[in-house]
Amino acid sequence: MERRVEWTDAVLLDMRETFEFYDCRNGTSKYSKSLFRQIIVSINRVAINPLVGHMTEYPHIRYVVVVPNYSVFYHFTDDIITVLVLWDNRRNPTRLTYIFRDSDPTYLCEDATIYK
């Protein structure tokens, strides 16, 4: 069963900023388009089988490595895949913890507590 895919505003903004950076740096949109296609292919696989991604400490959040430098974190239910984060794997992983802690608690399956 293929699930519906939803994208958070934060991930759409991150994607746009990432693609604009590479377009400017490379002087062409070739890499950005390739990265976008690979993200879509990965998410389409996840929509068919959400357990294909790697586990995280949160029971319904997983991630797939799109290309060596980027991963996509997503939340899944029986009906919906919610894409939460486009993560540059070269970043400090501690920052990712704060991103999840500040996200909607329904994705984390825990009580609402904002950590700063």
Cite the DSSP H helix spans in 1-116: 9-26, 30-48, 93-101, 105-108
Q: What pLDDT score was predicted for residue 114?
A: 44
Distance of CA 2 to the CA centre of its chain: 18
Q: What is the pTM (predicted TM-score) of this model? A: 0.85
Predicted confidence (pLDDT) per residue in 87-110, tens digit: 999 998 888 877 777 666 666 665
Over range 16-30, report the average pLDDT. 96
- CATH superfamily assigned to domain 4-108: RelE-like (3.30.2310.20)
Question: Residue with structure tokens 């329904």?
Answer: 106
Sorted by where each begins, the domain ranges of the chain are: 4-108
